[in-house]
Structure 1
Amino acid sequence: MSKTRKVPARYVALLIQHLEEQGIDCSPPLVEAGISPESLSHVDALLPSEQVVQVTRLLTEASRGQRDLGLRIGAKVSPAQLGDLGLALLTCPTAKEALKLCARYHALVTPWSRPSFRCTRDWWGGCMRCAGTPLMSCLTT
């Protein structure tokens, strides 16, 4: 039996906000994916990952071929969208401390995600990993 992973709805909401700012109607993709706009409004709302993949595909098609949507949405993510974790990150004096905090408490934002952080003495200083994949390697020790 497989467990359905839940993904924060905030990222879908950001994608919709971005597309609607460009005059793109996001209602048809939401209806086709079975997502109500109300289900996206709460900061802690979660959606099944399959549903997020489906609506993201549909919204990307509706975007008229924009290939840089991920970068544009990433640029809109603010600490506030990470809830309590985002507020805690704002108190960190260094990027290194912020990454450590994020690795420790990221499950508050995405329950199935378990990133880790370890510091090394390589030229890049540190590495944040999620399921063994490096996410960031730009810190100095």
Structure 2
Amino acid sequence: MGELKRQVDTDYVYFAEVELLLNHGVGYPELIPQLREKVYREGLEESPYVKKADRKLIQSVHRYIELLETSDEPIDDKEDEPINKWWWHLHKIAKGRYPSLTLPEYLREIYRKRRKYWRQKGRLTHPHSMDYTNHTWRV
């Protein structure tokens, strides 16, 4: 019974932290990758709580990065972690520079759709984009 309770707690705690952080701005953003790593180590990646939290994190990755950068302990991507541990590479995901085939299948389509949107949005706000009101280039 103790083992089952520990596993249920880990996947639910990860889910609850993601929900609180992204819905209400409450929590510790630097804790999210650590909790996701614990989920991975405990083999709980098929948990419905984990999948729901993962989807929310990918969909709201820019909000997550904003919250992370204003936290007391902002962290960057961990380049020493394997690329398939996507939770350590959320800045790459936010920039649309993460290889989609290394994501779990349930996250790929979300990422691909969001990446297309992020790239289009990035082009519109790029500092060297054309200012069509004056027909001049902004630099």
Q: Tell me the TM-score normalised to structure 1 length.
A: 0.28
Structure number having the greater helix percentage: 2
